[in-house]
Amino acid sequence: MKILGIDLGTTNSCVAIIEGGQPKVLENKEGARTTPSVIAVSKTGERLVGLPAKRQAVTNPHNTLFSIKRLIGRRFDDSEVQRDKQVMPYEIVKRGDGVAVKMEGKEYTPEEISAMILQKLKADAEERLGEKIEEAIITVPAYFDDAQRAATKVAGEIAGLKVRRIINEPTAAALAYGFDKKKGQQIMVYDLGGGTFDVSVLDVSEDTVEVKSTNGDTHLGGDDFDRVIIDWILQEFKKQEGVDLAKDALALQRIKDAAERAKIELSTAQQTEINQPFITSDANGPKHLVLAFTRAKLEELCGDLVRKTLGPVGAALKDASISKTDIHEIVMVGGMTRMPLVQKMVEEFFGKKPNVSVNPDEVVALGAAVQAGVLQGEVKDVLLLDVTPLSLGIETMGGVMTKLIERNTTVPTSKSQIFSTAADNQTTVEIHVLQGEREMAGGNKTLGRFILSGLPMAPRGVPQVEVKFDIDANGILNVSATDKASGKSQNITIQGSAGLSKEEIERMKKDAEAHAEEDQKQKEKVEHQNLAETMIYTSEKMLKDAGDKVTETERKEVEDKIAALKVVKDGDDHEAIKRAADELSTVAQKVGAKMYEAQQAGQPGADDKKPDEPVDAEFKEKEE
Amino acid sequence: MPDEMLNSQDACAKCEEYLNGWKRALADYDNLKKDLATERVTMRAAALEDLAHRLIPGLDHFDQALKCKPDDLPQTAEPWAQGLLHVRTELESVMRELGAEPFGQVGEAFDPHIHEAIADQSSRDHDAGSVVEVVERGWKRGNRLIRPAKVIVSS
């Protein structure tokens, strides 16, 4: 039975589960990874949850409930409730000591409203997973008191969920990063969401993650950032065109969307353009809003807001009686922390980079899912599978290592590939089994060699030898080579990773990195040489097959180019080899085309002998 | 109970455990293959939706331009304006090739599942709760909503 991890947010909520040992966010029915925490009863009497509720808010403000989290578990006399009573478009009333909200004339407790959100999250998750969900872990802000936590739990139960745990949002964020294993460390969680800013100091001890202090600003978030950007756009437009768009609801709507898009774009780009043509028109015709917007300008506009977050950060450190140098890790939560300026200021403050690798909109839900996984026992009974520490392969033409099994492949596994010969009438091939990351065979470790003999005589490239690598669960490698024509086969068994120690493996990996560039050059050189040899071989063969179908001049031309390629092919000048090979290819193709025409006119069915494509990998000829 | 019997019982239990583990692994792999196949289909659909989504603002601006078309356009400029309309048609046909269809009509009932209200307005010509003006058309791909229609609703 799966346990849901739920981040029940003030503006948006998010749901995750553990699947195959990894936390994963579940998309809602609309296909979004987060759901607005908004509830409404429409004028037609339909109850709406999430995006649809948000979309009709403008036309139905009294019956659209949002930011209910600010009210849950509160007493009517709380200053927070009194403040909300002033600013919220919906009605907040007293019920007992607590509060209720009104929607379509009916009273609901905040628990009931939160339950409606949870119900949708549960139903959508069930639809995604195709199974019933009965249990959940719900996160709450670290500063929530017992009443608020109890009320959240009640909301879960009204929604038909057994709430296994209520956990703190910052703790969940730390869990998503696996920081619960960092015993004795202090962690700062910086959560800048849509409408609230929370900061917490966590202390990780032997078996618990304890919240040492919390601070924040309940009315600072992404919305404030959007507002300063919108104000700037309005100002600039007024300067340029002398028109105030603030009173034009339609234009304002477009500016809002454009401001948000620009803000997001400037998280990755240095510059963007706000382009809203035909934003309005007056007696002089249409007017266009076209503004260049740079990251520097954005940072100038938002600098004060970001600086404002550092006050609560300092206060939280003081309350926890630690200094900023005592903080081992900083975890970023909330969409606004994607802004490079936020990351930069936090980094400057602490003198170390904050953690941003987990999606900040999802990190809390993911952490709740991790906790759910622990309760579910998902982590138990996992069979640990080994991986091959280094790549395995064989030596092919020109001393190149051709990898059959890449490093980090999970074992047991097997892989096979067909190879061919490098010379005419080659009757033996040597299989040189290698391990390592270098491009050239010489730089890698030899695990073993064997010879497959008795191949039937044939032109190069014709015989088919299947080489198969098989590693069993114990790391024992079996390499076999089979000639497809004769069925002759040989093999070798190599015991577990050939006894490489951890240090040796690391050394070999480092070695490969250090030599990557020269190895690549060497490999390219060999590839060019191989290509040259193939070109020479096929061109000579073509001339032989052509007999008197080519004129003396044509024959001479090809022969000259072959001779020219032979001169440069063993040198170090790749470019010269490539040039000579290209020139040979051009003349050979001309002859080939002519032969093809002659053959079509004369005897159909004969093979045209155009130069072959280079053979990908061939055995080098057996060295005596 | 003799030790040997206990050992063979233990061994049997182990065998059972391993066999079950093996079956589970094979089943997991089989399911993974199926999941990947479905995921490929959804990913392709998502990629097309994303592409369509990025083309929408350009089309919106075309619509906006049309609304702003001056009444006193000189006659020589008419063919030029016509040409621009053809460009718009071309863009719309790309949207249709991606499987996207526009929607949103004045007079239809406001439905928050496909409409986004950006304002309300009293109107004598329309029933309360119906669309008075389509500010930006909505787009769908099959049953999937790419973008809701942005509308003004009569109050």
**What is the Cα–Cα distance from A460 to A538, expressed in whole angstroms?**
10
| Nearest chain A CA: its distance from B78 CA (Å) | 17
Burial B67-81 (b: 16+ CB within 10 A, else e): ebeeeeeeeeeeeee
A153, two tokens: 């739990």
Residues 412-441 of A with CB under 8 A from B: none
- Average pLDDT, rounded, for chain B: 90
Which candidate, A28, A80, A27, A339, places its Cα nearest to that of A193? A339
Asked if A291 and A233 touch (Cβ cutoff 8 Å), the reply is: yes
Q: Taking CA atoms, what residue in A is nearest to B73?
A: A285
**What is the Cα–Cα distance from A111 to A150, expressed in whole angstroms?**
10
| Nearest chain A CA: its distance from B35 CA (Å) | 12
For the cut 60, the answer to whether the pLDDT of residue B149 exceeds it is yes
Q: Known catalytic residue: A169?
A: yes
**CB of A281 within 8 Å of any CB in chain B?**
yes
* pLDDT range class, residue A615, cuts 50, 70, 90: very low
CB atoms B129 and A281 under 8 Å:
no
Whether ipTM > 0.90 holds is: no
Candidates B88, B118, B123, partner chain A, best to mutate (most A CBs within 10 A): B118
Mean pLDDT of A481-487: 91
* pLDDT range class, residue B66, cuts 50, 70, 90: confident
Q: Taking CA atoms, what residue in B is nearest to A280?
A: B68
Which residue did the predictor score with more confidence, A313 or A44?
A: A313
Q: Which of B61, B68, B112 sits opposite A56 (nearest CB)?
A: B112
Mean pLDDT of A55-59: 93
For the cut 60, the answer to whether the pLDDT of residue B84 exceeds it is yes
Q: Which of A58, A276, A278 sits opposite B120 (nearest CB)?
A: A58
Q: What is the pLDDT of residues B112-139, one digit of tens each?
A: 999 999 999 998 888 889 999 999 999 9
CA distances from A368 to A26, A164, A200, A373 (A): 13, 11, 17, 9
Helix (H) or strand (E) holding A55: helix A51-55
**What is the Cα–Cα distance from A161 to A548, expressed in whole angstroms?**
89
Asked if A289 and A276 touch (Cβ cutoff 8 Å), the reply is: yes
Which candidate, A388, A383, A18, A2, places its Cα nearest to that of B19? A383
* Range with lowest mean pLDDT among A27-41, A384-398, A609-623, B2-16: A609-623
Which candidate, A142, A175, A161, places its Cα nearest to that of A369? A175
A251, two tokens: 């234009």
What confidence score (pLDDT) does residue A508 get? 82
**CB of A53 within 8 Å of any CB in chain B?**
yes
Q: Is A473 left (phi over 0), alpha (psi -120 to 50) or beta?
A: alpha
Give pairs for A403-408: CB < 8 Å, separation 24+: A404/A467, A404/A469, A405/A469, A405/A471, A407/A437
> Does the CA dihedral A492-A493-A499-A505 come out positive or negative?
positive
Which candidate, A223, A291, A281, places its Cα nearest to that of A250? A281
Which candidate, A98, A114, A100, places its Cα nearest to that of A163? A114
Which candidate, B109, B117, B98, B112, places its Cα nearest to that of B54? B98
**What is the Cα–Cα distance from A294 to A434, expressed in whole angstroms?**
53
Q: CB under 8 Å to A259, separation ≥6 — which residues?
A: A226, A229, A230, A233, A274
For the cut 50, the answer to whether the pLDDT of residue A617 exceeds it is no
CA distances from A542 to A30, A171, A535, A560, A610 (A): 64, 74, 10, 14, 7
Cis preceding-peptide flag for A412 (omega within 30 of 0): yes
State the DSSP string of A507-556. Answer: HHHHHHHHTHHHHHHHHHHHHHHHHHHHHHHHHHHHHHHHGGGS-HHHHH
- Average pLDDT, rounded, for chain A: 88
Mean pLDDT of A475-485: 90
Which position among A7, A84, A362, A378 bears the catalytic label? Answer: A7
What confidence score (pLDDT) does residue A378 get? 57
Mean pLDDT of B2-9: 68
Q: What is the pLDDT of residues A205-251, one digit of tens each?
A: 877 888 999 999 988 999 999 999 999 999 999 999 999 999 888 89
Q: Known catalytic residue: A69?
A: yes
Mean pLDDT of A401-425: 89
**CB of A267 within 8 Å of any CB in chain B?**
no
B119 neighbourhood in chain A, CB within 8 Å: 58, 249-250, 253
Percent of chain B with pLDDT over 90: 54
Asked if A408 and A385 touch (Cβ cutoff 8 Å), the reply is: no
**CB of A259 within 8 Å of any CB in chain B?**
no
What confidence score (pLDDT) does residue A613 get? 40
Q: What backbone phi and psi angles, to 5 degrees, belong to A480? A: -125, 150
**What is the Cα–Cα distance from A469 to B139, expressed in whole angstroms?**
53
* pLDDT range class, residue A331, cuts 50, 70, 90: very high
CB-defined contacts A:B, below 8 A: 58
Q: Taking CA atoms, what residue in A is nearest to B150?
A: A55
**What is the Cα–Cα distance from A332 to A323, expressed in whole angstroms?**
19
Q: What beta strand segments (E) does chain B contain?
A: 100-103, 115-121, 131-136, 138-141, 144-147, 149-154
Which position among A180, A191, A378, A395 bears the catalytic label? Answer: A191
A30 neighbourhood in chain B, CB within 8 Å: 145
* pLDDT range class, residue B37, cuts 50, 70, 90: very high
Asked if B117 and A55 touch (Cβ cutoff 8 Å), the reply is: yes
Q: Taking CA atoms, what residue in B is nearest to A285?
A: B70
A507, two tokens: 């050394």
CB atoms B68 and A278 under 8 Å:
yes
Q: Taking CA atoms, what residue in A is nearest to B112?
A: A52
Give pairs for A215-220: CB < 8 Å, separation 24+: A215/A312, A215/A313, A215/A315, A215/A316, A215/A319, A216/A143, A216/A191, A216/A312, A217/A308, A217/A309, A217/A312, A218/A70, A218/A80, A219/A195, A220/A192, A220/A196, A220/A305, A220/A308, A220/A309
* Range with lowest mean pLDDT among A374-388, A522-536, A544-558, B61-75: A374-388
Q: Known catalytic residue: A7?
A: yes
Q: CB under 8 Å to B124, separation ≥6 — which residues?
A: none
Type of residue at A142: A
**What is the Cα–Cα distance from B29 to A410, expressed in whole angstroms?**
13
Q: Which of B64, B112, B155 sits opposite A42 (nearest CB)?
A: B112
* pLDDT range class, residue A579, cuts 50, 70, 90: confident
Which position among A84, A112, A169, A519 bears the catalytic label? Answer: A169
**What is the Cα–Cα distance from B83 to A563, expressed in whole angstroms?**
62
Q: Taking CA atoms, what residue in B is nearest to A55?
A: B116
For the cut 50, the answer to whether the pLDDT of residue A623 exceeds it is no
* pLDDT range class, residue A48, cuts 50, 70, 90: very high
Helix (H) or strand (E) holding A202: strand A197-204
Q: Known catalytic residue: A468?
A: no
Mean pLDDT of A431-440: 91
**What is the Cα–Cα distance from B30 to B28, expressed in whole angstroms?**
5
For the cut 90, the answer to whether the pLDDT of residue A296 exceeds it is yes
Q: Which of B61, B68, B119 sits opposite A58 (nearest CB)?
A: B119
* Range with lowest mean pLDDT among A286-290, A314-318, A552-556: A552-556
Q: What is the pLDDT of residues A491-517, one digit of tens each?
A: 998 875 555 677 777 888 888 888 888
CB-CB neighbours of A275 under 10 Å: 16
CA distances from A429 to A391, A408, A419, B70 (A): 22, 29, 10, 82
Q: CB under 8 Å to A303, separation ≥6 — which residues?
A: A341
Q: What is the pLDDT of residues A93-120, one digit of tens each?
A: 999 999 999 999 999 999 999 999 999 9
What confidence score (pLDDT) does residue A260 get? 92
State the DSSP string of A554-600. Answer: HHHHHHHHHHHHHHHTTSS-HHHHHHHHHHHHHHHHHHHHHHHHHHH
Q: Which residues pair with A136 in a beta bridge?
A: A4, A163
A549: exposed, middle or buried (C-beta count within 10 Å: 0-12, 13-18, 19+)? Answer: middle
Would you give the distance in Å from CA B102 to the centre of its chain? 12
For the cut 70, the answer to whether the pLDDT of residue B74 exceeds it is yes
HSE of A347, CA atoms in CB hemisphere, 13 A:
12
**What is the Cα–Cα distance from A314 to A188, expressed in whole angstroms?**
11
* Range with lowest mean pLDDT among A28-37, A142-151, B10-19: B10-19
* pLDDT range class, residue A381, cuts 50, 70, 90: very low
A286 neighbourhood in chain B, CB within 8 Å: 65, 68
Q: CB under 8 Å to B144, separation ≥6 — which residues?
A: A31, B45, B49
For the cut 80, the answer to whether the pLDDT of residue A610 exceeds it is no
Q: Scanning the structure block, which residue is given the tokens 């792999």?
A: B29
Residues 572-611 of A with CB under 8 A from B: none
For the cut 50, the answer to whether the pLDDT of residue A329 exceeds it is yes
Q: CB under 8 Å to A599, separation ≥6 — which residues?
A: A606, A608
Q: Which residues of B have a CB under 8 Å from any CB of A?
A: 21, 25, 28, 61, 64-65, 67-68, 70, 110, 112-113, 115-120, 128-129, 135, 144-145, 148, 150, 153, 155
Asked if A530 and A617 touch (Cβ cutoff 8 Å), the reply is: no
Q: CB under 8 Å to B125, separation ≥6 — which residues?
A: B132
CA distances from A138 to A191, A374, A429, A462 (A): 17, 15, 65, 66
Helix (H) or strand (E) holding A612: none
Which residue did the predictor score with more confidence, A136 or A406?
A: A136
Q: Which of B65, B112, B135 sits opposite A55 (nearest CB)?
A: B112
Q: Which of A40, A52, A58 sits opposite B113 (nearest CB)?
A: A52
| Nearest chain A CA: its distance from B93 CA (Å) | 22
**What is the Cα–Cα distance from B106 to B115, expressed in whole angstroms?**
12
Would you give the distance in Å from CA B130 to the centre of its chain? 24
Mean pLDDT of A542-559: 83
* pLDDT range class, residue A412, cuts 50, 70, 90: confident
